[in-house]
Structure 1
């Protein structure tokens, strides 16, 4: 749950995210943060003990705004009903839902503040153990979300009778997450990102067909 912050504290937090993403945590001073907010440097100490305290609040903010639902069945039901309405017969239900989920996730990433928070974490993960742990935690949550999604689609009859839908979901999750990171980096550096979005949609088509990537031991 996102915690309450005063208007000034929130301004300090958001300015810090932007500056850390552009210049790095180590090269950003409290004086630079104060200038970006429009306050005097000593005023920061009314809200934070120092730069490390701001960094911890950024971690908390990122985790509270980047959580995927741990029990997504209800959300999947709603989104499936929404995306399947008017879907052409040539598009499989699984492909339609996976495409919907990709666009939903990228929509959050398109938020400049969350995008900057991602950039900061991706940069700091090699210097800060907690940043690395958060990146790994979000990755695991992302993969688990799609593992559950593929199991749910299989139960709903949206996938063929494949032997390991959960492993198919994990493979899809890792692939999409990799493209997601590249999408964030490209947008941050003002590079074309449309091709990455198209590749993610292409994966939705391939995996939505339910190709069983894991051979059944009983057959081999």
Structure 2
């Protein structure tokens, strides 16, 4: 009897291989030939699943997005003990900064997703951008004393507090720039400096509760 093929498993293997390629070469390296070689397949076998590079990259970007959510969301949701609301918000935001090897990998994957969305703008705007803005909106809302959203998805809509919207936008812009500096000029912006800068910004939010002691 012919051996049964688990197509979902094979697609998962291809997704994992493509993620390894992204980490080495970026999204441009995700070609039919390149991913087939990484997975140990022939290009003919891979074309059984994806007819061209566009189909492959579409699948890989979704697999990468799912991987990022699977890695980052559990960290965002885990219980934390913080000395202040500002410190608690800073600890959440730090999950989006490339402060260690794991988060540097995630930054590289996130950059590939952003590059894909730039080339192929999704309807309704960037999903990754909207999800990140929701996190920053949630953090600023907490600092200003608002009831926290039960789920991150509930923070995707504009907040009724105009200061939350303004400072969420400022925080989003700040974090993107800070992450770029951490990656590109690590000697000038080491992790401890980045942590101090982040907390300085969050303490400047109008209505922020003072740090005890």
Distance 1:200 1:112 in 2: 14
Which residue of structure 2 lines up, in the alignment, with residue 10 of structure 1?
Answer: 12
How many residue pairs match? The answer is 184
Gaps of 5+ in 2: 1-5, 148-160, 208-213
> Aligned partners of 2:27, 2:198: CA distance in 1, in Å?
36
Q: In structure 1, how many angstroms separate the alpha carbons of the residues matched to 2:202 and 2:108?
A: 31
- Alignment CA distance shift 1:48-1:145 (3 Å): same
Aligned to 2:86: 95
Partner residue, 2:49: 47
Judging changes above 3 Å, is the alpha-carbon distance between structure 1 residues 211 and 122 closer, same or farther for their aligned structure 2 residues? closer
What residue in structure 2 maps to residue 138 of structure 1? 128
2:33 maps to 31
Q: Which moved more, 1:20-29 or 1:141-150?
A: 20-29
SS of corresponding position for 1:198: helix
Output one character per residue of 1:162-220: Cα deviation in whole Å (capped at 9) or x when no partner. Answer: 9834422331222112222444x54xxxx63782533432233223324439xxxxxxx
- The answer as to whether partners of 2:133 and 2:172 remain within 8 angstroms in 1 is yes
3-state SS, counterpart of residue 189 of structure 2: helix
Once residues 164 and 23 of structure 1 are traced to their aligned partners in structure 2, the CA distance between those partners, rounded to angstroms, is 40
TM-score, L = length of structure 1 = 0.62
1:64 maps to which of 42, 45, 66: 66
Q: Deviations over 1:11-60 (max 9, x none)?
A: 22232233355445556542332221112221113332332111111222
Partner of 1:180: 179
1:83 is aligned to: 81
TM-score by length of 2: 0.63
Map of 2:201 onto structure 1: 207
- 1:15–1:163 distance in 2 versus 1, CA, 3 Å: closer
* Structure 2 SS opposite 1:83: coil
Structure 2 residue aligned with 1:147, among 131, 137, 159? Answer: 137
Asked if structure 2 preserves the Cα contact closer than 8 Å seen for 1:94 and 1:153, the reply is yes
Q: d(CA) in 1 for partners of 2:49 and 2:128?
A: 28
Q: Kindly indicate whether the alpha-carbon contact (under 8 Å) linking 1:95 and 1:205 is maintained by their aligned counterparts in 2.
A: yes
Rounded to whole Å, the distance in 2 between the matches of 1:5 and 1:101 is 37
Measure, in 2, the Cα distance between the counterparts of 1:133 and 1:18.
29
User: Which consecutive unaligned segments of at least 5 residues does structure 1 have?
Assistant: 88-92, 214-220
